[in-house]
Amino acid sequence: MRVAMIGAGYVGLVSGACFADFGHMVTCVDKDAGKIARLKDGGMPIYEPGLDLLVAQNVRAGRLDFTTDAASAVRQADAVFIAVGTPSRRGDGHADLSYVYAAAEEIAQVMDGFTVIVTKSTVPVGTGDEIEAIVRRVRPAAQFAVVSNPEFLREGAAIEDFKRPDRVVVGTEDERARAVMTELYRPLYLNETPIVFTDRRTSELIKYAANGFLALKITFINEMADLCEAVGADVQQVARGIGLDKRIGNKFLHAGPGFGGSCFPKDTLALARTARDAASPVTLIETTIAVNDARKTAMALRIVDALGGEPAGKTVGVLGLTFKPNTDDMRDAPSLAIIPALQALGAHVQAFDPEGATEARQLLRDVALKDDPYGAAEGADVLVIITEWDQFRALDLDRIKLLMNRPALVDLRNIYKPADMRARGFDYSSVGRA
């Protein structure tokens, strides 16, 4: 089948490359001419493990192409995916749908014959109805169907998630559209992947409900971590004890500095706003947002405590700036709240991240970016692990100790064992453990 992917960002590029690897003919469209030129030259605008190889293989095979010309791609397509950004709108928390609606209008102007328009972007309930109205207004006689097909991709594991998903959700009641979507995802039937067909509004809400629940789960274990510290328990053992219950599961039960990234912060805000507008508030989600925001500030105060309560003039070494490992994405990363809070109290910050330096230069001021973990530790009064990159799991701790002004480590990801760190002479603190 022929696919046009409107938007060559994270979701669009990963989805386009994976559909091409399934054997479909895919054209990724983006208005950013620099991004398209880079992709045509074999460069990657984002860091995602394995994506560069997957793109290169399918470009060589002639199944994947990139262009700024939406018209040619859309006219030939059986399915046109909208995979543009839906950031939080300033002031009210609503998802900004301007890019989605602009894409819908552009598609309507150039599509030819029956076309399935698929919303891959994360959008509030009812967005598909508005897209349908836009297309109908622009092309009253057009033959088309608007489908919801939310993505469930984890940054750092997106290719695996696309090719071996827990489920695929498709929102449509149009039989022709259902047939097209079934053919697009036919390779997944070999793995017996559940394909959940439902109505469009339900599909749109499934995405927000999933992210809201996972965000709530993270926030729950973070609050349990605080309770563990107060009563002398171990949050990692608590997480294991409850996670073995199949009704709960062990995913997203890792205590830390709070959630960030491109999805959970904006999607919980959009879900809360949608619910308020529908006069059916989701107070659990609203509380989750508030608790998560407060947690990032609390983590900064934990670092201040490790500095003896006097951060002014002290040097803080930071390991990890991205919101999670195996990505260069810093959107709503805990580091963006923790580091400025420390700087406001007079601390100097030096940091290392394996992939996040380019973004960090745009988002953080007066942070000395180092070439490796040991550069971040050199001369530091405290070293802080914010992101759990694998290369931070086996640091040369003896070398770290010699490089620092004093051997103090604040481990916000519980990578190391307290007893081991004490034995090495570190003033060590972690999350939810004695």
Range of the domain at 44: 2-198
pLDDT band at 126 (very low <50, low <70, confident <90, very high): very high
* Whole-number pLDDT of residue 88: 87
329-355 confidence digits (pLDDT tens): 999 999 999 999 999 999 999 999 999
- Same domain, yes or no: 143 and 241: no
Share of the chain above pLDDT 90, in %: 96
Half-sphere exposure of 92 (CA within 13 A, CB side): 8
Chosen domain end from 172, 198, 224 = 198
- Number of folded domains in the chain? 2
- Same domain, yes or no: 136 and 9: yes
Q: Determine contact, residues 128/100, Cβ cutoff 8 Å.
A: no
pLDDT reading at 90 higher than 80: no
For residue 427, the cross-strand partners are 408
- Same domain, yes or no: 269 and 407: yes
269-281 confidence digits (pLDDT tens): 999 999 999 999 9
pLDDT reading at 11 higher than 80: yes
Mean pLDDT taken over the chain: 96
The side-by-side arrangement of strands in the sheet containing 382-385 is: 367-369, 348-352, 315-319, 382-385, 408-411, 427-429
Is this prediction's pTM over 0.85? yes
Chosen domain end from 198, 227, 262 = 198
Provide mean pLDDT across the span 252-266.
Answer: 94
- Same domain, yes or no: 339 and 380: yes
- Same domain, yes or no: 187 and 213: no
- Same domain, yes or no: 130 and 258: no
* Whole-number pLDDT of residue 109: 96
pLDDT band at 92 (very low <50, low <70, confident <90, very high): confident
pLDDT band at 206 (very low <50, low <70, confident <90, very high): very high
* Whole-number pLDDT of residue 45: 93
Half-sphere exposure of 270 (CA within 13 A, CB side): 27
- Same domain, yes or no: 43 and 94: yes
Sign of the dihedral defined by the CA atoms of residues 12, 14, 20, 22, in that order:
negative
Task: Give the domain CATH number at 192.
Answer: 3.40.50.720
Q: Determine contact, residues 16/9, Cβ cutoff 8 Å.
A: no
pLDDT reading at 434 higher than 80: no
- Same domain, yes or no: 191 and 208: no
367-386 confidence digits (pLDDT tens): 999 999 999 999 999 999 99
- From the candidates 18, 28, 228, 263, which is the catalytic residue? 263
For residue 2, the cross-strand partners are 25
- Same domain, yes or no: 147 and 291: no
For residue 411, the cross-strand partners are 385
The side-by-side arrangement of strands in the sheet containing 195-198 is: 64-67, 25-29, 2-6, 79-82, 115-119, 144-148, 168-171, 195-198
* Whole-number pLDDT of residue 176: 97
- Same domain, yes or no: 186 and 256: no
pLDDT reading at 310 higher than 90: yes
Chosen domain end from 198, 229, 253 = 198
- Same domain, yes or no: 112 and 191: yes
Q: Tell me if residue 263 is catalytic.
A: yes
pLDDT reading at 91 higher than 90: no
pLDDT band at 230 (very low <50, low <70, confident <90, very high): very high
pLDDT reading at 257 higher than 90: yes
Provide mean pLDDT across the span 399-428.
Answer: 96
pLDDT reading at 262 higher than 90: no
Tokens 């007066």 belong to 366
Q: Determine contact, residues 418/434, Cβ cutoff 8 Å.
A: yes
- Same domain, yes or no: 188 and 302: no
* Whole-number pLDDT of residue 198: 98
